[in-house]
């Protein structure tokens, strides 16, 4: 090897070494920036501050009504007309509560409705917020915790879902007996001791007695109500046919973008939970189907009247 070749090799190796150090240095800088940035895992959940917000929102609502709700109801996409079955006393827009999570999705009005239904005081979420809107799981379930703080001990959750079971047709209902959640738990972070224990069991999270009563009511009114397993995914994109195939292999009957983490938060608060899926469509690829939000909303509106019938008879039994 002559001197010229040696010099060239030394120069090449030198350049490689310097480049490697530069890359390593840049990577370290990026890691440090990530650690210091919001949402990187370094922002510690402040349970005390969060619970103070829950109490403050509850107090603001109490100032506007004498209603002390026994039952909380969460309305899914397109089910806003359900309010026609409620004797409304007070409407509290989410936007009137400073810093409160705001719904950005068409079909979710964004109001707390307080009134009576079937002789019981109720609070209804006319529209919810979702994880896919950019909220943390803790923010998604904050409205639920406010309703619990106001006095609700039972919650009826509704949501529009896709069917993964060919026997569960669009236009029918399913009461959830168990779920799988693909969304981070709302209980992550410091526990809110005022609401519940650090570690809670989830078997039996859905009240079996409410399920049985609902089934009896549905039969009496010739409303198709199945029972099955639900999976919550993040959204906002609808699932791929491959994902639908996977969830079907897991034994799931329906899929949606809400409600499971709400059920987790409700169980943490020791609330009785009933989750009613409004089946609006088949999953992507099932029979060549392609879902759309317009289809979901339209079918939900058609199902609202049957939902009113079922809850009008279920609520007095709670």
* Active site residue ranges: 77, 108, 130, 132-133, 160, 257-258, 281, 293
Q: Tell me the three state secondary structure of residue 229.
A: strand
Distance CA 272, CA 70 (A): 11
> What's the per-residue H, E or C state across 134-186?
CCCHHHHCHHHHHHHHCCCCEEEEEEEEEECCCCCCCCCEEEEEEEEECCCCC
CA distance 265 to 263: 5
Q: Report in angstroms the alpha-carbon separations of 140 from 28, 53, 72, 134, 267.
A: 34, 14, 15, 9, 15
Residue 149, CB-side half-sphere exposure with 13 Å CA sphere: 22
């Amino acid at each position: 090897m002559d001197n010229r070749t040696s010099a060239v090799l030394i120069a090449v190796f030198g350049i490689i070494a310097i480049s490697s150090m530069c890359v390593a240095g840049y990577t370290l800088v990026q890691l440090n920036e990530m650690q210091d940035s919001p949402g990187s895992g370094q922002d510690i959940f402040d349970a005390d501050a969060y619970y103070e917000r829950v109490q403050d929102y509850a107090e603001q609502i109490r100032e506007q009504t004498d209603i002390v709700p026994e039952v909380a109801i969460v309305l899914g996409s397109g089910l806003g007309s359900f309010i026609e079955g409620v004797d409304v006393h007070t409407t509290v827009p989410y936007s009137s509560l400073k810093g409160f999570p705001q719904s950005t999705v068409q079909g979710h009005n964004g109001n707390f409705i307080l009134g009576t239904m079937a002789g019981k005081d109720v609070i209804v979420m006319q529209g919810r917020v979702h994880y896919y809107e950019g909220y943390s799981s803790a923010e998604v379930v904050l409205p639920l915790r406010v309703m619990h703080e106001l006095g609700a001990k039972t919650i009826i959750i509704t949501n529009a879902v896709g069917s993964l079971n060919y026997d569960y047709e669009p236009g029918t209902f399913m009461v959830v007996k168990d779920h799988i959640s693909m969304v981070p738990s709302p209980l992550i972070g410091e526990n809110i001791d005022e609401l519940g224990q650090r570690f809670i069991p989830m078997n039996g999270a859905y009240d079996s007695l409410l399920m049985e009563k609902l089934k009896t009511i549905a039969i009496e009114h010739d409303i198709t109500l199945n029972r099955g397993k639900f999976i919550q995914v993040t959204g906002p994109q609808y699932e791929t046919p491959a994902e639908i195939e996977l969830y079907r292999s897991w034994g799931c009957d329906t899929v949606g973008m809400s409600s499971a983490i709400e059920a987790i938060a409700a169980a943490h608060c020791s609330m009785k939970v009933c989750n009613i899926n409004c089946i609006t469509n088949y999953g992507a690829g099932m029979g060549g189907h392609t879902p759309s939000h317009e289809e979901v909303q339209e079918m939900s509106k058609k199902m609202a009247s049957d939902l009113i019938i079922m809850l009008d008879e279920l609520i007095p039994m709670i």
